[in-house]
Amino acid sequence: MIYPFNYQKEIAEAQNGSRGKIYNTPITARENDILTASHRDPAWLGQELNHVFPREILDNVARGFVVDGEPFTGSFGGPDMFGVEWVYVPVVRGSMEKPGLRKVADINEWEKDLPFPDLSKLDWQGIQKRCGKVIRPDKITSTMVYTGFFERLISILGFEDAAMALIDEECQDAIHRLFDRLCGYYDDLFDHLHTYCGLEYVVFHDDWGSQHSLFFSVDTCREMLLPYLARVAASAHKRGIYFNFHCCGNVERLVPLMVEAGCDAWDGQNMNDIFGLYHTYGDRLNITLNQKVLNISPEDAEKWVDNIVSHLERGKQLIVPNRQMNDVARELLYIRSREFYGKE
């Protein structure tokens, strides 16, 4: 469906001027983001989600991101859901595994050292009550699931041993057992978050590359990771949850596998050819543009928006998160993308 753009009707000056323009949008942000997530043309660009990161999911505390309706006064870092210790680094606003601690001594016997959490023991009624404070009905409710398959392997073995184990035939059966068990955990987590928090959109975090190359070959990814990525995507989809795969690094050679796995979107980094991938795969996989323009000047914001709009194609979907834009850039992107998508 096309929503014709009427500038005078949709944009009015803010009364106090502190937020630039106020939009009289033809549909809600929720409806607009559902169009994009469903691989249909939106009315405008600018993703606006509810975020829920309950503190009871210890990965959120360990990794330094808690959003659940009440101020978090504790310390970030500490043990995650699997007992792995993390150290929060404020200067980078992120965490790393605590050096010198190896959770699993022998990957072939990981069951001895790695306790799996029982999600039924969490206070889901309390989580529901708190998270309800940050959920607006006009937005999709989302979360990020930290520490996917390869990241979990790194967290219990260390990076080098995890990378070696992935290609060591003597370790692969054990890794398949671990990843199979993790699929059950993620399925249970999706179910609880969907039931108690109304989860509709999950960003699943598993980094597969460095700034310059992949951590492993495409063939290794297809054999060891793709089947499990497909399973967690299916776990989300059976509950009506959209599945966005967050995968950092120079991983564009793996994008076809993300499509094959059934991911709805890819949340990557700009060392990849984002617009090239958008043109190639955007009809099957929503491509996220992660460019922070919070301090951009009005002149540069106009150039930034012009570049985005010059790449847009009907039937191919680009995600541009509002949280990464200042008011000027957000307003310009709204106007220009409304003009693009509002044409008959």
Label residue 342 left, alpha or beta by phi (over 0 means left) and psi (-120 to 50 means alpha).
alpha
Predicted model pTM: 0.94
What is the C-alpha separation between 294 and 79, in angstroms, rounded?
A: 33
pLDDT (tens, 9 = 90+) of the chain, 344 residues, equals 788 887 777 766 544 444 445 678 899 999 999 999 999 999 999 999 999 999 999 999 999 999 999 999 999 999 999 999 999 999 988 899 998 889 999 999 999 999 999 999 999 999 999 999 999 999 999 999 999 999 999 999 999 999 999 999 999 999 999 999 999 999 999 999 999 999 999 999 999 999 999 999 999 999 999 999 999 999 999 999 999 999 999 999 999 999 999 999 999 999 999 999 999 999 999 999 999 999 999 999 999 999 999 999 999 999 999 999 999 999 999 999 999 999 86
For the chain, what is the total number of helices (H) and then of strands (E)?
A: 14, 12
Strand partners, 85: 79
Check residue 282 and give its pLDDT: 98
Domains of the chain in sequence order: 47-290 (3.20.20.210)
The whole-angstrom separation of Cα 308 and Cα 223 is 36
Centroid of chain to Cα 25: 25
